[in-house]
Chain A
């Protein structure tokens, strides 16, 4: 049976990037339907759908929307912030959603804005996504011309503006309060919570923040009915998700699947398995911040609860396949380097801890580490976990600790043998990370010629 598509359903048989084609496929009917309902009824549909956020944390969207005060309960305007800052390594789904169904994203923004009675919606799109920004901008212009955005939408009396806001390269701006800071024209350093954005978000006004895929699902939920959408997927994980499959796999790409299929279905059945006669070694199931699974855990199901039972997370739905050529110490180093680069520096455990993680892992990889350093690494991870304002520190500590837990003998061999047992053959051998480059340049600048 062909997989059931929801997010990409309208794009299956036609190019729906233009407004007229999207409307022909049934686009903006859900907006009309929503505008004829009470805002609270729209939130009821979202609650009934069981839709959980597709950005990473998986918080139920309807519940989050219900936390916002109603317009008569707050003197401030209400805002919607759209998280299009897709940056979690391994994730490239929101990009394809914006490219293929840009009007569905806009329709989802409009319906969600109406549900919370937002005055304006801000789309925070990562700066590197230039083509995606242009596609969204074209779609927004078409929608504006048609009276679907702006004042008195479709004669409903409801008005909302949509502003596209490009980021400028910072992973942390995908964290919701970092995003809000950046949108306010500041360094994207996360805020203390509470207050939560639903109470005091953008410009200290009530703000709902949702991911692109979550919002692109909303018009489809209105079309299908919340209860019907909830029949897709499995308990606590309704509907479909667009999984990003990458790494050592024959057919990488984005695949929309009902939640609850197994990693094996995705990696072997759909992705064609590991190519070149290689053996599967490990799978990162939900973006690089999630704990790793081994080849023995391929039957784990792709839903929130199954992943939690396996000690990991569904995260952003980014599945990275790793074959037996990869040295896990090098993987740990590269992952730690990323989070070190992206740490905003606000919280000491994350700022200093990620630096120490990189130093210790590098010593292990180079064979310079003593017997106690593997435990020292775990100790550093432990001193980061749960001790920072935002999840970035955890995002570094959790996966690295999991690599040690599941591949401890490989780490130990580096120490015992005084170097990498792969002897230069690892698939990640010698990979240059941006942090290496920054430090090489900083050193070059302070060199004093003799």
Chain B
């Protein structure tokens, strides 16, 4: 708890106003908890002298903050125009088949969350898939089993 507070205070010192550290602080909290549970908002709020409600109102605006628990790994597929034109939907469907879940869901063992995202900025190298926030470009349906196998191995899942 105090360790997180110290980290948040260190970040806040970079800015002329402490409130600017809300997003970096929420990120630090999310790295700790895997998502943003109520205690994360309480801790961020206490460290920055804000209210938990304010911190949650900020977090809910941004796509990268998770207000519900997510899997140990995240797979995010860009389905915006450029990626869609070169087969993003087929890549998404390959992940759905391989993981046995639909986009927006997490595998029953909590290993992998799958979702679609808007343009990731890899349009010329699509379809872009972000695996644990690292871009893989391009990912074709035939590449999917190996990626899923890699994720299963590193979570000890079936």
Contacts and interface: CB of A to CB of B under 8 A. Distances in A.
Interface of A: 77, 86-92, 94-95, 120, 126-131, 163, 165-171, 182-189, 203, 244-248, 252-254, 284, 288, 318, 320, 322-323, 326, 331, 334-335, 338, 341-342, 344, 427-434, 437-438, 440-441
B23 A182 contact: yes
Given A183-B20, A184-B20, A437-B103, A168 B62 contact: yes
Contacts of B89: 429-432
Contacts of B79: 334, 431-434
B124 A163 contact: no
Contacts, number: 173
A-B pairs, 6 with minimum CB distance? A169-B63, A168-B62, A252-B124, A246-B123, A185-B19, A185-B22
Given A89-B82, A90-B82, A431-B89, A130 B57 contact: no
29 contacts: A87-B118, A87-B121, A94-B121, A127-B64, A128-B117, A128-B130, A167-B62, A168-B62, A168-B63, A169-B62, A184-B19, A184-B20, A185-B23, A185-B58, A187-B58, A245-B124, A247-B123, A253-B124, A254-B124, A334-B79, A334-B80, A334-B84, A335-B81, A341-B118, A342-B118, A427-B85, A430-B89, A432-B92, A434-B63
Instruction: Please classify how large the interface on chain B is, using the bins under 10, 10 to 19, 20 to 34, 35 or more.
Output: 35 or more
A431 B124 contact: no
Interface of B: 14-17, 19-24, 26-27, 48, 57-58, 61-65, 79-82, 84-86, 88-89, 92, 102-104, 115-126, 130, 133-135
A35 B22 CA distance: 35
A90 B121 CA distance: 7
Given A89-B123, A92-B121, A427-B85, A338 B80 contact: yes
Given A185-B58, A188-B62, A244-B124, 9 more contacts: A87-B119, A88-B119, A95-B121, A165-B24, A320-B123, A428-B85, A432-B89, A437-B116, A441-B104
A76 to B, nearest CB: 10
Contacts of A95: 121-122
Nearest to B19: A185
A171 B121 CA distance: 11
Contacts of B57: 187
B24 A89 contact: no
A120 B16 contact: yes
Contacts of A320: 81-82, 85, 123
A128 B104 contact: no
B124 to A, nearest CB: 4
Contact of B121 (A91, A170, A245): A91
Contacts of B88: 431
A438 to B, nearest CB: 8
A187 B62 CA distance: 8
Contacts of B134: 130-131
A301 B151 CA distance: 47
A322 B116 contact: no
Question: Which of A320, A335, A434 has the largest count of B CB atoms less than 10 A from its CB?
Answer: A434
A128 B20 contact: no
B119 A90 contact: yes
B104 A440 contact: yes
A129 B125 CA distance: 15
Given A169-B64, A247-B86, A92 B123 contact: yes
Contacts of A429: 89
Contacts of B16: 77, 120, 203
